[in-house]
Structure 1
Amino acid sequence: MTVAQAPLLEMTGIDKTFPGVKALQRVDFRLFPGEIHTLMGQNGAGKSTLINVLTGVFEHDAGEIRLGGEPVRFATPLEAEAAGIRTLYQEVNLCPNLSVAENIFAGRQPVKRGAIDWKTIHTRAREALANLNISLDVTRSLDAYPIAVQQMVAIARAVSVDARVLILDEPTSSLDDGEVARLFAVLRQLKASGIAILFVTHFLEQTYAVSDRITVMRNGEREGEYLARDLPVDQLVAKMTGHERMTERLKGGVSDVSNLSRKDNGFAPFVSLQGVGRRGLMNPFDLDVRPGQILGLAGLLGSGRTETARLVFGADRADTGTIQVDRKNVKIRSPRDAVRHGIAYCPEDRKKEGIVAELSIRENIVLALQARRGWWRMLSRARQREIADDYIERLGIKARDAEQPLGLLSGGNQQKVLLARWLATEPRMLILDEPTRGIDVAAKFEIMDRVLALCAKGLAILFISSEVSEVVRVSHRIAVLRDRRKVAEISSDTSSGDAPLSEAQVYRLIAGGES
């Protein structure tokens, strides 16, 4: 990118209003060929709305969009694609019942002698994945692979076609460090070829690893545009949040976990698993989750993090081992059993397994509590609203009111509603699988502060994140997983002479080294 270049894409004075909400106000944005431009902002800042206006999902109320110097106004995403704008959204929007190859080439299958050329499709699909250093059986159904692999397939689809503009909305939210590095290598190749890349992320390190420029949005307005090299991370956070307080907290870590005692509290495990496993899913493992402690699960993609959580919660039934709750042997054959024993679970894929987008915020929040009470003990509408309003305020959920359909909220606010659903049941143990996936910095503060406060009051927490740094930062103990087996467990009881937990130590164990 050179300073003298004209923008390939330019949005000027963009306004967009929904009933009761000004989503965008006089927003300017420009994107140059051969650059990676990151769009930053808290949940609800207007990032997704701006992208949806650009790609024809929403029609803007005012302003102008120019592509290659010519005014454009896309009525549908297909029109935007035809003009050379390709978009990869945060949630994997593929067809799980189709094969990997069919998903990569859906709508543009090569034809030979009047029939689909399957040999060519399979070859090209393998080549598209090879560009990301991924080897898969492209003839297998997409739903045979975990969500992180599905995300890489979506990325392969997005970058396998000629495009003038490539929009990536939270493409790394389910990827581990290795996948992120491979994706960034591909993005740099595309950038070198002259493609303009609009990158949306909540990960600060990734922003500075790959960005040429950064545009910051706040409350539906553009706060400013900056060269990445001229915007220190503390200033970026302050501009995103509008609060200098966040800058100080960032310097001290995402959450005030340092104020919690690292010492083993001596409590008996609330949940204890001995030799629990499932053939073909997870090798037998032992695990203790204690009241007032956070047990982190660390491992690379495919190590068994989510599989472990699902076995604990009964979403997948174990075929070996025993489970104890409060020192008593129990059978957890289903999530209903787990909830009855005081175990709650926020899953990784909130869109598929968590939220009910068509229901209101109120209905989503009281869902688990009502299910536990039974439908013969219905919560009154007034009591439901009281509970929902309480958690909207406590978790800082940005919404018009509790009756707003959950599907209209940003991803971060949906995650807060999902957390509120389980907190409303007053669980004794909470399983959090990627709770900060797709969440901005301020929302991470809010969510993790609430979780840590509950932990300090005795809640047992099983915490999963693909960010090893985050696992290290919040955990009292860490179980390290590799190839669907538990390979080590480390703690940081500094009063007993243990060294503080470190990323290097975890990565060494993941790689097969000694602690």
Structure 2
Amino acid sequence: MDDEVAPLVEMIGVSKSYGGARAVAEVDFAVRPGEVHALLGENGAGKSTLMKILSGEVAGDAGEILLAGAPVRFAGPAEAQRAGIAMIHQELDLVPALSVAENIFLGREPRTRVGTVDRRGMRSRTRDLLSRAGVDLDAGRPVEQLRTGEQQLVTIAKALSLDAKVLIMDEPTSALSSHEVERLFAVIAELRRSGAGIVYISHRMEEIGRVADRATVLRNGSVVAEFDARRMTAAQASEAMVGRPVHMMFHAESGVADGDGETDELLRVENLAIRRKRPRPGRRDPAGISLSVGRGEIVGLTGLLGAGRTELLETLYGVGSPGAWEGRVLLHGKQIRPRGPRDALRRGIAFVPEDRRVAGLSLEHSVLANTVLSIVDRIATLGAVPRSKERSAATGTAERLGVKLASITSPVGSLSGGNQQKVVLGRNLLTEPSLLLLDEPTRGVDVGAKAEIYRLLGETARTGVGVLLASSELAELIGVCDRVVVLRGGRSVRELNTSEVGEADLLAASMGEGAVMDELAVPGSAGVNEHE
């Protein structure tokens, strides 16, 4: 990328504070035509605030923004979009009840000659955008019927519809399968060729070297390092992000017995299948899953998007509309069938869902309220909950999990993504479960927070709790789990010992024996930058 090329957009000396707390301090940042500029930093480092200023969501306190060399100030996101700047948010901003097409063109619906919404044209354009994003979806399907990964692809298609000159991608691959990730990279290459500039925010170090030209690292709201992304190592980036050397290995030491590795069985699932008169659109119910989890053992679940990982965890937790069960689920050797979250919690089963902001947290309520929600019945006296017990439980949990917060009474929505995830995890651990179900527990979480979560999982397993963890990150599964069960089409098809296999083995098992060898390469494993 030629340093002499004039930037598409340039931020100079941009600063922003909230209530005296510095979020961004005198940051310089620029994006050139055809460039992918990676923006790195821990959760809370200032990345999202900086990009919200660029996309018109919030106003900076100081500094200026130049668009094609001319000063601009946006009154809101719509104004920024009209100027050619669009943002794909990590936390999805879709309207669940509206269709895919209605979400993509919300507020910009095409009109017929008589002024009515051109629904036929809107669906046709939506199909073209979805094809461009590499996804095959019904444009008329309500978004609430889609899986999280499919919703993420809809937001990407929505951004493409804006024909933006500068596109901000905040953790765009966090909910995508390896196949969808590769398709997204192809879309990015297409955008580069068209002269668009891309800001790429990701905690997945292997992606940065593949798609980015430059990388800027923020820490505590300030720029602390800039790298040639094609030569930057994960260790360099991580050390700059946290300000100290970081051990990059995924690791959580479980409580599995030494010696022959035999464990006391906690959970056994035998050929579990859910039969419904009407299949749920976009969902993959268990269709023949068998697995076991021992006390103190961390067992992983892997599979391509739509393999049924989330649905299995929801079934074990009693979530979702009822269907006819086949097979058996045994906990502590006794057959069970949880009929809802309350029933599951009473049996000692806790669940950390994939989308913490929708299914895991009440964002407007305090950290304290969100933390103690699961144990209110237990700490109540004659129907009243003593404030001292609430505060003691919430404060102790926040300290144990290392939650960074101004106050225990702060709204949980004000915390960074990694700290929000710790609150969800802490709330579930307060129930003192014997079985902990986790669905993408480190999605959108920075390397420092990931290390903390892995440490907590290891501590939890060593107390004898069994952990069943679904993750799309193959390195995470290899480093954290004792065994990994592979799902495909709602069925368990393989079980692999992580001490004997690597990431490529997990991906190959997920894709099946008929997969082409080129497709089995783990994204980023070669560390190659795929620029034109």
Q: Same fold (TM over 0.5)?
A: yes
TM range (shorter): over 0.9
1:45-444 map, 5 Å: 45-114=45-114, 115-244=116-245, 246=246, 249-250=247-248, 253-257=249-253, 265-279=261-275, 280=279, 281-316=285-320, 317=322, 319-320=324-325, 321-371=327-377, 376=382, 378-444=384-450
SS of match in other structure, 2:493? strand
Q: How far apart are residue 393 of structure 1 and its match?
A: 2.2
SS in 2 for 1:74: coil
* CA deviation after TM superposition for structure 1 residue 265, in Å: 4.3
Offset at residue 307 of structure 1 (A): 0.5
Structure 1, residues 70-115: CA drift from partner, whole Å, max 9, x if none? 1112121111111111111001111111111121222222222222
**Separation (CA, whole Å) in 1 of partners of 2:509 and 2:230:** 34
CA contact (8 A) 2:254 2:462 kept: no
2 CA distance for matches of 1:451 and 1:147?
24
Distance in 2 (alpha carbons) for counterparts of 1:259 and 1:30:
48
Which letter does structure 2 place at the counterpart of 1:323?
V
3-state DSSP of counterpart to 2:236: helix
Q: Distance in 2 between matches of 1:83 and 1:356?
A: 34
Shift of 1:466: 0.9
Per the TM alignment, residue 262 of structure 1 is displaced from its structure 2 partner at its CA by: 7.5
1:40/1:47 contact within 8 Å kept: yes
Q: Provide closer, same or farther for how the CA distance between residues 255 and 224 of structure 1 changes in structure 2, counting only shifts above 3 A.
A: same
Distance in 2, Cα, partners of 1:149 & 1:287 = 27
Cα deviation for residue 318 of structure 1 reads: 5.4
Q: Against the structure 1 CA distance between its residues 201 and 330, is the aligned structure 2 distance closer, same or farther, given a 3 Å change threshold? A: same
Unaligned runs of 5+ in 2: 280-284, 515-532
Q: Deviations over 1:211-244 (max 9, x none)?
A: 1100100011111222213422211110001012
Asked if structure 2 preserves the Cα contact closer than 8 Å seen for 1:340 and 1:372, the reply is: no
What is the number of residues matched between the two proteins?
503
SS in 2 for 1:348: coil
Name the aligned partner's letter for residue 505 of structure 1.
D
Task: Quote the Cα distance in structure 1 between the aligned partners of 2:379 and 2:398.
Answer: 22
Of 229-238 and 412-421, the range deviating more from structure 2? 229-238
In structure 1, the residue matched to 2:526 is none
Q: Is the CA contact 2:36–2:214 (under 8 Å) kept in the aligned structure 1? A: yes
**Structure 2 length-normalised TM:** 0.91
Q: Distance in 1 between matches of 2:111 and 2:90?
A: 31
Q: 1:376 to 1:206 in 2, by over 3 A?
A: farther
Evaluate the alpha carbon distance shift between residue 262 and residue 348 of structure 1 in structure 2; reply closer, same or farther with a 3 A threshold. Answer: farther
TM superposition shift of 1:363: 0.8
Structure 2 Cα separation of the partners of residues 58 and 508 of structure 1: 44
SS at match of 2:144: helix
- Residue of structure 2 in register with 1:34 after alignment: 34
Shift of 1:512: 2.3
CA-to-aligned-CA distance 1:358-401 (integer Å, 9 cap, x gap): 11001111111114556845442122222222222222212111
Structure 1 unaligned spans of 5+: 493-498
Distance 2:379 2:295 in 1: 24
The reply to whether residue 482 of structure 1 matches residue 488 of structure 2 is yes
Using the TM superposition, name which of 391-400 and 204-213 deviates more: 391-400
- Secondary structure of the 1:270 match is strand
Question: Quick one: which amino acid aligns to residue 92 of structure 2?
Answer: V
- Alpha-carbon displacement from aligned partner over 1:163-183 (angstroms, at most 9, x marks no partner): 111011111110011111100
What amino acid does structure 1 have at the position aligned with 2:244? H
Q: What is the one-letter code of the residue matched to 1:190?
A: L
What is the distance in 2 between the residues matched to 1:34 and 1:505?
A: 35
Identity %: 42
Residues of 2 paired with 1:304 and 1:375: CA distance? 41
How far did residue 118 of structure 1 move? 2.1
Alpha carbons of structure 1 residues 111 and 263: separation in structure 2 relative to 1, 3 Å: farther
**Alignment partner of 1:44: what SS?**
coil
Question: Which 10-residue stretch deviates more, 186-195 or 279-288?
Answer: 279-288
- For the 8 Å contact 1:277–1:318, the answer to whether it is kept is no
Q: Deviations over 1:20-74 (max 9, x none)?
A: 4111111111111110011100011011111112222222111111111111121
> Which residue pairs with 1:495 in the alignment?
none
Conservation of the 8 A alpha-carbon contact between 2:36 and 2:198: yes
Query: Following the alignment from structure 2 to structure 1, what is the Cα–Cα distance between the partners of residues 343 and 179?
Result: 37
- The letter for the 1-side match of 2:312 is T
Deviation at 1:403, TM superposition (A): 0.7
Change (3 A) 1:438 1:376: farther
Give 3-state SS (helix, strand or coil) of 1:463's partner: strand
Three-state SS of the structure 1 residue aligned to 2:291 is strand
- Does structure 1 conserve the Cα–Cα contact (< 8 Å) formed by 2:302 and 2:484? yes
Which segment is superposed worse, 295-304 or 132-141? 132-141
Q: Using a 3 Å threshold, how does the CA distance of structure 1 residues 227 and 163 change in structure 2: closer, same or farther?
A: same
Superposition deviation, residue 330 in structure 1: 2.5
TM-score (ref. length: structure 1) = 0.93
Q: 1:265 to 1:375 in 2, by over 3 A?
A: farther
Please name the residue that 1:496 is paired with.
none
Residue 111 of structure 1 aligns to a residue whose secondary structure is: coil
